[in-house]
Structure 1
Amino acid sequence: MKRVSESRYYPVVKRELERMTARRFYFGVCIVLPLFTLFFMATIFGNGQMENIPIGIVDQDQTATSRTIARNIAAVPTFHVTQTFVNEAAAREAVQRKEIYGYLSIPANFEQKAVTGKNPTLCYYYHYALLSVGGELMAAFETALAPVALSPIAMQAMALGVSEERIETFLLPVEGSDHPLYNPSLDYSVYLSLPFFYVLFQVLILLTTVYAAGIEIKFGTAGEWLSTARGNIVVAVVGKLLPYTLIYTLMGMLANYVMLDILHIPFEGNWWLLNGLTVLFIIATQALGLFLFSLFPAISIIISIVSMVGSLGATLSGVTFPVANMYPLVRDASYLFPVRHFTEITQTMLYYNGGFAYLWPSAVILCIFPLLALALLPHLKRAIESNRYENIQ
């Protein structure tokens, strides 16, 4: 067995480590940005629920009933009543300026109409360009205003001499009982923090991979890089990417530890299986970056392409929209992104406690990405030897 110092990979790895330590840029993209991303995703959801979303109230009734409704709305944790308005036009302008994200409108003569049984209407508006915020506001408004909607009927029934017990039977003939599976506290961090971290993580991996290889061609050092590997392009690529693979593996394992052990995201799967598949995801993402770089070995072009691919990977990962419900063409395109398969792996392990018997199809697909990258390495070697991509701006 050869010693490490005699390994053909050793000179390439040593050369790359020297390049990494010579520029603070690599420290930023390999250490600082992943840690910042981890901290950001671990803290963004706070206690797991959206709270204190700024809203306004338009009270054109100015009665005891309208003030009671306003106090009840202000007591809902989701809302933070920051402004009151004299009319809906001013409230709508505040929404457009994003000073508030919704408002409740209490019309004039609301109390009088409610008492006389004339079916008054309460209107609420919310900013639905932001789907998550809009959906949260809609649900909170409906929950908070449900008793108000039923109160006129209850008042009329009581005036007719109907007992409170009978009122409840016809107002709420069926009582709902919610039992959310896998996430009983409805904590956003349970199903968003971990996948969102890896969505951002894959962008960093892609950019670092193509930059580390592209900078060699841009500054005319690709020939030296290849000669260090004795002309073997496989050795050159593996030796260059190995330090980044090890660093990102540590970052991925740290993220798994923080999310599952410190934040206590429910997880009953195998810890080492998750970490092993995390390493496979990192290698597959690097392979995707290398594959794209082999197609377009010019850093000025490939950075833009990889940025677009990273954004598409975030959209098609299945975190924000179920892959199964996408249009068939879009669903098929999602198979081209490693983060889509890793998201499926993590969701299976988190939600269903699935073992490798349920994960192996996604794992096999992740193994295909390095094979695709290897198939294009001869093209990359010819591009390096031809020097025709060095002067592309």
Structure 2
Amino acid sequence: MKKPQFRRWCRSPFVRVLRRECQRMISRRIYAVSCIILPLFTLFFMATIFGNGQMEELPVGVVDDDFTPASRGLVRQVEAVPTLRVTSHYANEAEARADVRRKRIYGYLCIPSGFEAKVNDGKPVSLTFYYHYALLSVGSEIRAAFQSLLKQASAFPLAEQAQALGIPSADVQTFLLPVRDQVHPLVNPDMDYSVYLTPPFFYVLLQVLLLLVTTYALGSERKFHTASAWLAAANGRIGVAVVAKLLPYTVIFLIVSVLANWVYFAGLHIPCQANGWMLLGLTCLFLLATQAFAVTLYALFPVLGLVISVVSMMGSLGATLCGVTFPVNHMYAPVYHASFLFPVRHFVVALQQMLYAGEGGWGSFGWSEFLTTGTWKSVVWLLGFLLLPCVCLPRMKQLIRRGQYESWE
């Protein structure tokens, strides 16, 4: 580029607005906190929150009404399960149930009186366990651990009797368990919570920050009566003013997102079937769609205090409706259709397809999978969000030229 052309480009409205916004970002600490510190904190917080990715040593209790060697042996088997940790022994079920409600323990096993005698006599006996199922993930882990343990314990007395009669242990196992199951968890063989929670939750939190930063950057211009200077720097072209103003935030959040993808997929080895360029493209499209969504919300609610409250609410709703913890398809029909109004919902759907839909490891999710899995639909929705500001920018320009800042209090 020749020097006259370069100088002319440097004096263009786009560069003037861009330079002006960079100066504003440097002069105020709130931008460093919201654009760098908080996103990085979110990145490393989500990378470490799940520990080794599995629940271990969940506190449980035991109600032993038998007090025999057989019941104590069963308690020792419970203590040997890595998922469980026996923290309390109770005299009755009422005390154990009270501690479950207080969440001091998450479940308890009840061994009835006469347990050993009935086992030795070959009579049926019931072992009962209770668990806190208001906490779904914890309750599911405890239920699975107790069921696996008691399944083995129920066959132990008969196995001892058969071996005492001289029957080989292999034949005993075949007789007791003629049908054996083979469990092969796909994509997440280690049953690691971070595999399916860490990447989506990070971007859910990141979209809340991006919504807040975008609306604050726009709303502060009118709040502090600098909107006219902002529009004048763009020669009255509201499209140039908005794009140049938001570009630094797009670049910063994109860098943080690239770093997050590297930490999660290369550092933590979370499975990802898409290649890096496809993942980068989806991430960039998501950031732009989120900013476009924020611009639209600001045009509809052009008061800084009000729009901050609105985007906070929308960000929280988006976290609920993105389908990370509960399938959106099974939500109440109006809620399901409302979820299409949030960019994060479409991004999470596309991201999960890219993470899990391939079968050959990194880079196996190609264009054929992009079409057959329906990922293209989510991308089209994200592209549609980019068109929303085109409808709202004329209203924003009118508000700036009016020069009056309304208070909603």
TM-score normalised by structure 2 residue count? 0.89
1:19-58 correspondence to structure 2 within 5 Å: 19-58=24-63
- Quick one: distance in 1 between partners of 2:55 and 2:226? 51
Match of residue 378 from structure 1: 394
1:369 maps to a residue whose letter is F
Kindly provide the amino acid, as one letter, of the partner of residue 383 in structure 2.
Answer: C
**Corresponding residue number in structure 2 for 1:86:** 91
Question: C-alpha separation between the residues in 2 aligned to 1:387 and 1:150?
Answer: 81
C-alpha displacement at 1:205, in angstroms? Answer: 1.0
Task: Give the C-alpha shift of residue 281 in structure 1.
Answer: 0.6
Q: Distance in 1 between matches of 2:300 and 2:185?
A: 47
DSSP 3-state at the match of 1:34: helix
1:23-60 C-alpha deviation (Å, 9 max, x unpaired): 22211111111111111111122222111222222222
1:207-226 pair list within 5 angstroms: 207-226=212-231
The alpha-carbon deviation at position 15 of structure 1 amounts to 2.0
Mark the CA change 1:127 to 1:384 in structure 2 (over 3 Å): closer, same or farther: farther
For the residues of structure 1 that align with 2:272 and 2:181, how far apart are their CA atoms? Answer: 28
Q: Give the Cα–Cα distance (whole angstroms) in 2 for the partners of residues 2 and 48 of structure 1.
A: 53
1:297 paired residue number? 302
User: Which 5+ residue runs of structure 1 have no aligned equivalent?
Assistant: none
The alignment status of 1:264 with 2:246, answered yes or no, reads: no
Whether the aligned pair in 2 keeps the contact of 1:105 and 1:124 (CA below 8 Å) is yes
- Deviation of 1:223 after TM superposition, in Å, equals 2.5
State the secondary structure of the residue aligned to 1:54. Answer: strand
Report if the CA contact (8 A) 1:218-1:390 is conserved. no
C-alpha separation in 2, matches of 1:161 and 1:154: 11
Which of 151, 156, 174 does residue 156 from structure 2 map onto? Answer: 151
Q: Which residue of 2 aligns with 1:355?
A: 366
**Letter in structure 2 aligned against 1:347:** Q
Judging changes above 3 Å, is the alpha-carbon distance between structure 1 residues 230 and 16 closer, same or farther for their aligned structure 2 residues?
Answer: same
Is the Cα–Cα contact under 8 Å of residues 73 and 79 in structure 1 kept in the other structure? yes
5+ long unaligned stretches in structure 2? 359-364
Mapping of residues 97-176 of structure 1, within 5 Å: 97-154=102-159, 164-176=169-181
Alpha-carbon distance in structure 2 between the residues aligned to 1:107 and 1:385: 80
SS of 2:81's equivalent? coil
284-293 vs 243-252, greater mean Cα deviation: 284-293
1:391 aligns with 2:403: no
Please state how far the C-alpha of 1:387 moved relative to its aligned partner.
4.2
Q: Give the equivalent residue in structure 1 for 2:349.
A: 344
- Please give the alpha-carbon distance, in whole angstroms, between the structure 2 residues aligned to 1:160 and 1:330: 63
CA spacing shift, 1:372–1:160, aligned 2, 3 Å? same
The alpha-carbon deviation at position 267 of structure 1 amounts to 2.4
**Secondary structure of residue in 2 paired with 1:234:** helix
Letter of the aligned partner of 1:363 in structure 2? Answer: V
**Structure 1 residue 277 corresponds to structure 2 residue 293:** no
Q: Shift of the alpha carbon at 1:279?
A: 0.8
What is the alpha-carbon distance in structure 2 between the residues aligned to residue 277 and residue 161 of structure 1?
Answer: 65
Q: Deviations 1:228-277 (Å, cap 9, x if unpaired)?
A: 22222112211221111000000000000001111111224211121121
**Counterpart code for 1:239:** A
Matched residues in 1 for 2:153 and 2:63: separation? Answer: 16
Which of 248, 254, 259 is equivalent to 1:254?
259
Which amino acid in 2 is paired with 1:367? L
Secondary structure of 2:23's partner? helix
Specify the alignment match of 1:16 in structure 2. Answer: 21
Separation of aligned partners in 2, 1:20 and 1:44: 31
1:9 is paired with a residue whose SS is: helix
Q: 1:391–1:330: structure 2 CA closer, same or farther, 3 Å change rule?
A: closer
- 2:316 paired residue among 311, 316, 323: 311
Per-residue deviation at 1:152?
Answer: 4.3
| C-alpha contact (below 8 Å) 1:54/1:101 kept by paired residues | yes
What SS class does the counterpart of residue 386 from structure 2 fall into? helix
Residues 22, 184 of structure 1: alpha-carbon distance in 2 compared, 3 angstrom cutoff: same
In the other structure, the counterpart of 1:243 is 248
CA RMSD of aligned residues (A): 2.2
Q: Match for residue 367 of structure 1?
A: 383
Give the Å deviation of 1:164: 4.4
Give CA deviations for 1:197-225 in whole Å, capped at 9, x if unaligned. 11111111111111221222233332232
Q: 1:163 to 1:297 in 2, by over 3 A?
A: same
C-alpha distance in 2, partners of 1:126/1:388?
59
